[in-house]
Amino acid sequence: MSHPVRTQWIDIAPGFAGYLALPPSGQGPGLVLFQEIFGVNEHIRGVAEQYALAGFVVLAPDVFWREAPKVQLGYEGDDWNRAIALMKAYKTEDALSDIAKTVSVLRGRQEVGANKVGTIGYCMGGRLAYQAAATTDIRAAVPYYGGGIHLQLERVAKIHCPMQFHYASDDANIPMDAVEQVRQAFAGKSAEVHVYPNSHHGFNCWARGTYDARSAALAHGRSLQFLTQHLFE
């Protein structure tokens, strides 16, 4: 029996590729999946297939394509150091260009057609999902522990789609005062802010030492409900 999710790498722009995962039906709402700093690795591909099984057409862009095309990194040692270096070298203007191109290409796929498009992202990808909400016409965005969002709150005024934020209570990279700044900035808007007790940065990634199954399952359920509400016709 063949796997119900079909996957392939596709071209987004010359030299710029993305991992596409199609749902069993072959069509559905579009979901741009933004990677962590570790590339479109096994975990991100697994998440793409997870959401494709739920009915979404998922495209995970390889945003480090300029420096390290299709790089796949682990979470410790030299891989960790390289991931940090790649993140620091990734310029905001390049990120915004990659976001716009990816959203456009996914929206133009025949498998998406007239369906809506949203985004989800983890770690650095959470920040990219937030930026996508502020700079494109996506219909919903779900950032997971997106670092630095509280430093870009001037973008909030340009966000008109529903947002759902997921944070860890004990995140060494994102203190609770930063989460509170995000919460206050979105007061009065269509936005949810969820904080998971006794969890750490990266709690959704089953390949990391900070993985927390309970928090990941709860966040995934909330994300599915939110995305289904706002992206399915």
Percent of the chain at pLDDT above 90?
Answer: 98
Report whether 118 contacts 28 (CB < 8 A): no
User: Among residues 108, 178, 106, 111, which one has the least CA distance to residue 143?
Assistant: 178
**Residues of 189-199 as b/e, b for ≥16 C-beta within 10 angstroms?**
eebebebbeeb
Predicted pLDDT at 89:
97
Structure token digits, residue 172:
């060494």
Integer-rounded Cα radius of gyration of the chain: 16
User: Among residues 54, 4, 14, which one has the least CA distance to residue 33?
Assistant: 54
Predicted pLDDT at 3:
86
Predicted pLDDT at 1:
62
* pLDDT tens digit sequence for 130-142: 999 999 999 999 9
Which own/partner contact pairs does 188-192 have at CB distance under 8 Å and 24+ positions apart? 189/156, 189/159, 189/163, 190/161, 190/162, 190/163, 191/162, 191/163, 191/164, 191/165, 192/163, 192/164, 192/165, 192/222, 192/226
H or E element that contains 165: strand 163-168
Predicted pLDDT at 85:
98
Which domains are present in the chain? 6-231 (3.40.50.1820)
Report whether 49 contacts 21 (CB < 8 A): yes
Strand positions, DSSP E, 62-162 = 117-122, 141-144
Q: Whole-prediction pTM value?
A: 0.97
* Block residue for tokens 């997971």: 144
How far from 141 is each of 4, 161, 172, CA to CA, in Å? 26, 7, 24
Active-site residues, by number, are: 171, 201
SS3 (DSSP) at 147: coil
- What are the residue ranges in the chain where pLDDT is below 70? 1
Q: Which DSSP state fits 57?
A: E
